Chain A
Amino acid sequence: MTITMKDIAEIVGVSESTVSRAINNKEGVGQETRKEILKVAKKNNFQPNRLAQNLAKQETNVIGLLLPDIASLFYSDVARGVQDYATSQGYQVIVCNTDDDKEQEVNYMNWLQSNKVAGMIFLGGGLVNNQIVKLGLTDYPIVLANRLVEEVPLPSVIIDDTIGALKATEHLLDKGHDRIALLLGPNNSWQAQNRLQGYKRALKNRDIEYDQDLVIHKSWSREGGYQGFLELMELEEPPRAIFAADELMAAGVVEAIKLGGYFIPQDIAVVGFDDTVVTSVIDPPLTTVTRPMYELGERSAKKLLNLINEEEIKEEIEILESELIIREST
């Protein structure tokens, strides 16, 4: 037979509402009493009646995670972080692939809301649309993960890309390089501009003049990295250090360097961006910037559950920093 809150209340000698507050981690219960209640609950294998809890709140213990495409290595890591945290707190996650399509996203939002989902995380995909702003202006719990909003402050967790680029550039500077090439995606891409900014800041911090010839914009692809390297080799004084600010570009650069008969890092040092299955097969092992993707998911889920449970959140906008993993390519 399962034990109820009423039973626990009788055993501990407190009211049923005190038991409820203790189990739901709400205020108004002394520390000792809370401990005693939780001990009795655990000993008797108490299972809260989720259905009854949700009926009272008129919502389910399910959260929605809307992202452009789960097939992306970046998003799947984040999704894992979201799910692991949510599951540990008794929540399930519905993942919706929006393909970066505004209409599809709005359809999913409506569907999730009509199914009384407790809250939503919007992961990636540029500026929020106004449907999200509208939702954010109500009390409905939402969190933006690596997604930006212009009009109103919405609870967000964001990875600061510029810091990763700064650290990568500083590392090459520390290795004695003062002519460092930067390979980036298209000039008008948000990611490219952020990474360029980190690169510039590192140079400025060391009083090294920025040389536009060393910055090459190509497509975010292996081919882009390959072609970028060929362009750099045409310079009068080719650089001996390259920061390829994308995993595929890094793979292309390494391939081109080797085909050219150069050695890494003896002839040319390389730093990549992101640490995924792609960068893991590069030889020599790649020094690379790693973004805390799992942590982004975990923190976003934590923020959302705090909002759902009406707990205070410390920071409205949380910033996570990228790290540099030093291996053998520098």
Chain B
Amino acid sequence: MAKVTLNDITKVYHSNEEGDVLAVEDANVDIKDKEFVVLVGPSGCGKSTTLRMIAGLEEITSGELYIGDNLVNDVAPKDRDIAMVFQNYALYPHMNVYDNMAFGLKLRKFDPDIIDERVTEAAKILDIEPLLDRKPKELSGGQRQRVAMGRAIVREPKVFLMDEPLSNLDAKLRVQMRAELSKLHERLQTTTIYVTHDQVEAMTLADRIVVLKDGIVQQIDDPISLYSEPNNMFVGGFIGSPAMNFLKATIKEKGNDLVLVGKGDFEVTIPDDMAKTMKDLQTYIDKEVALGIRPENILDPAVHDDDEYDADNLIDAQVEVVEPMGSEINLYLDVGAEESIVAVVDVNSGAEVGDEMEFAFDMNKMHIFDAETEEAII
């Protein structure tokens, strides 16, 4: 087991047609020993490229990569002591489960007794012991995925690298395997770097999440902090579903308070203690900012007691779409000035399409971002 350190890692692809393409820029990530770190971001954000540089499948253009205390930029992949699990995996149809897990060790000429010990142990961990004699065609999708995991486990690597390993499974199985991966990591405690575009997977699996966009690391944090304290509008919008709402607003002084005046003519007050902690806020007075509010922090007063919301921070909105989700309802609201937001409210909200209603913003949970740089104001 080992820590993994990325110092100013950069990847440039040279292409005759398109010139140089910067795929990853100055990535700095310290992954601790035993940590489960998820690289997440939209397609083309550089997450897979980063993983492949760690694997040694891509050359590092500049920067330093350490596994443990060893600089491994120029170390051959086979000597990096890593095991990779990809979304597609090769299970050989003519080999049984045992051999599909064992052939790598056999070809590396491991002692047959050691191979047997490792395969049996991995099968026990993965709960596939009764399947060892079966051929892949006799297995379910989830069982096959476990065999592929088993092949990585028997190598006893210092680090697991996983590139969207669950994306080929159906939704139900994905949820199940996600939980199993968590348990597996709990048990093996092997440092794991996991790539996904699925923010739910990232939130549920990770000790810490690295959010990437356009090859640049946006934020590295534990799931809760990432959700509650996004560094910028991209992270705020990317993590959470439905996504965080953004509204254009101008900060104004009103008596002793600072208020946000929206384009759609709403006015909400920034809580005192928030105004005090945001030391940069004063410089934004009379300037346009972006107000970020998560759908679950927009409250329907009809289903809340008076003390659960602030009657001074109500906004008017017209209900455009009602989406019942079972335990809650998603409301798509027109707040004027061609701005729409989504609110997640209790099923008992009587909202219907076309209703003119008032909603309360839970101001202690809102975010303010610089409209130009899109960075959070702190």
Binding site for B on A (CB under 8 A): 126-127, 129-130, 133-134, 137, 148-154, 156, 158, 160, 162-163, 187-190, 193, 197, 316-317, 319
A210 CB → nearest B CB, Å: 14
Assess whether B88 is in contact with A153, with CB atoms less than 8 Å apart. Answer: yes
Besides A133-B57, A151-B85, 5 more A-B contacts (Cβ < 8 Å) are A130-B55, A134-B57, A156-B90, A163-B94, A317-B93
Q: Judge if B86 is at the interface, Cβ distance under 8 Å.
A: yes
23 inter-chain pairs at a CB distance below 8 angstroms, sorted by A residue, are A127-B104, A127-B107, A129-B77, A129-B78, A130-B55, A130-B56, A130-B76, A134-B58, A148-B103, A148-B104, A149-B90, A150-B104, A150-B151, A152-B88, A152-B90, A158-B92, A162-B94, A188-B109, A188-B111, A190-B103, A197-B99, A317-B90, A319-B93
Interface residues in B140-198 by Cβ distance below 8 A to A read: 151
Residue of A whose beta carbon sits closest to that of B161: A151
Interface string of B51-67 (1 = CB under 8 A from A): 01001111000000000
What sequence of 0s and 1s flags, for each residue 105-125 of chain B, a beta carbon within 8 Å of any chain A beta carbon? 011111110000000000000
Interface contact A190-B78, CB-CB below 8 Å: no
Given known A-B contacts A134-B57, A148-B103, A162-B94, A127 and B86 have beta carbons under 8 A apart:
no
Shortest CB-to-CB span from A158 to chain B, Å, is 7
How many chain B residues touch A (Cβ–Cβ < 8 Å)?
28
Determine how close the nearest CB of chain B comes to the CB of A47; give it in whole angstroms.
31
Q: Cβ of B233 < 8 Å from any Cβ of A?
A: no
Which residue of B has the minimal Cβ distance to A186? B109
Once the chains bind, are A151 and B110 in contact (CB under 8 Å)? Answer: no
User: B319 at the A/B interface (Cβ < 8 Å)?
Assistant: no
Say if the beta carbon of B84 comes within 8 Å of chain A.
yes
When distances are taken between beta carbons in the complex, the residues of chain A under 8 Å from B284 are none
Q: A130-B78, A148-B103 are in contact. Are A154 and B90 (CB under 8 A)?
A: yes
With a CB–CB cut-off of 8 A, which chain A residues contact B55?
Answer: 130
Across-interface contacts of B99 in A (CB, < 8 A)? 197
Closest 10 CB pairs of A and B: A153-B90, A130-B77, A160-B94, A188-B109, A319-B94, A134-B57, A150-B104, A151-B84, A127-B107, A126-B107
Are A152 and B86 touching (Cβ within 8 A)? yes
Once the chains are docked, how many angstroms separate the CA of A319 from the CA of B136?
Answer: 14
Evaluate contact between A152 and B112: CB separation under 8 angstroms.
no
Closest A residue to B55 by beta carbon equals: A130
In the complex, what's the smallest C-beta–C-beta distance from B63 to chain A, in angstroms?
19
Q: How far is the CA of A130 from the CA of B76 in the complex (A)?
A: 9
